[in-house]
A = this chain, B = another copy of it.
Amino acid sequence: MSPERLRALVGEIFVRAGMVEDNARTVADVLVWADLRGMGSHGVMRAPRYVELMRRGDLNGRPNITTTESGATITLDADRAAGPVAMVRATELAVAKARATGIALALVRSTTHTAAIGYYTQLGACSGMATIAITASIPNMAYHGARAAGVSTAPLSIAVPGDDEPLAVDMGSGVISIGKLAQARRSGERLAEGAALDQQGMPTTDARAAAIPLPLGGPKGSGLALLIECLSSLLAGNPILAEALEGTAKGKRHYQNALVIAIDVARFVPLEAFRTEVKRLARAIKALPAEPDTEILLPGERGRRNAAQHASDVPLPASVMEELRALATSLGVDLPA
């Protein structure tokens, strides 16, 4: 299916489920972007889950997002808006503010699944901003030394303006992501040692038994994830981890928090000079001696190639397409031929 048709289908599903149209369009755009980049785990396969969150009242399809500005900062109370809606808004506000102040911060309080955070940092980078984003979520990753989930696979993304497209890194703080763990479970492939624990907190390489990703670099990954919770959830006065670990009623519901920081490159060096230096650095890295049969890739390069290759046809597993069709039918959405 073409990206345009897939966006239209997914957007229409969200509208029929009760989401206002411009929100539905934003969410569909961010999900299809992830599929195009080869990050299917953050793509339209999430649509059924988003609809389920709306039914439960955890995702608000008609949010009243309010913002408070103070100095070089903006706080968005997202009113349980879909993650992409709150994050695109936060990024746009941070970018606009940073043009005036050089650096700006947008703190996002009480949103839902944030989707691929690389979308937002690259949106900022396309506006000439070095952009940093982090997201806080439920405990789904082991804390170093613990036999249970204690922190989230809290992602961090950094993007800067590049030669043509931004140079961007987008990383979770776990050895393996929840999405890749689910993929391995389906395919039955063996996990690397040190990637995950089973439900009882014992190390396992059996993907079917694996339940809890281990943190990247042990204390580094779990420390980073813990500080991401502090920088977003605790700054927003909306803790996630403590509520969930203590088993409070609030902690049983789905909500996320996030932070976007935009830095106006042109305040420090001319934007074109910066782009030229990024290009020069990329060239030097790609010229490094490589392992046999290995091309040295820049962060984001594989995703960009995927997107170019699938410009007219989004690659979706049959099972995801089936789920989308069933969801569309159940909501009375006309299916494309």
| Contact partners of A278 in chain B: CB under 8 A | 230, 234
Contact B220 A261 (CB under 8 A): no
| Contact partners of A273 in chain B: CB under 8 A | 237
| Contact partners of A100 in chain B: CB under 8 A | 71
Known: A148-B288, A268-B237. A171 touches B102 (CB 8 A): no
Contact A169 B224 (CB under 8 A): yes
User: Which of A40-48, A182-190, A291-299, A304-312 lies at the binding interface?
Assistant: A291-299
Known: A102-B71, A281-B239, A296-B145. A167 touches B226 (CB 8 A): yes
| Contact partners of A201 in chain B: CB under 8 A | 289, 291
Contact B284 A103 (CB under 8 A): no
Known: A72-B104, A130-B235, A145-B294. A150 touches B230 (CB 8 A): no
Is A88 located at the chain interface by the 8 A CB criterion?
no
Is A57 located at the chain interface by the 8 A CB criterion?
no
Contact A160 B104 (CB under 8 A): no
Is A265 located at the chain interface by the 8 A CB criterion?
yes
| Contact partners of A237 in chain B: CB under 8 A | 268-269, 273, 277
Per-residue B-contact encoding for A135-150, CB less than 8 Å = 1, 0 else: 0000000011111101
Nearest-neighbor residue (CB-CB) of A158 within chain B: B227
Is A27 located at the chain interface by the 8 A CB criterion?
no
Is A179 located at the chain interface by the 8 A CB criterion?
no
**Measured between alpha carbons, how far is A152 from B226 in the docked complex, in Å?**
24
Known interface pairs A145-B295, A171-B224, A237-B277; 11 further A-B residue pairs with C-beta atoms within 8 A, sorted by A's residue number: A71-B101, A71-B267, A143-B296, A145-B294, A167-B226, A169-B227, A171-B217, A217-B217, A229-B281, A231-B263, A242-B277
Pull 21 A–B residue pairs with CB atoms less than 8 Å apart, ordered by A.
A70-B102, A72-B101, A73-B263, A143-B288, A145-B291, A145-B297, A146-B285, A146-B288, A146-B290, A150-B284, A158-B231, A201-B289, A216-B216, A234-B274, A234-B277, A239-B280, A241-B285, A242-B281, A245-B284, A245-B288, A246-B284
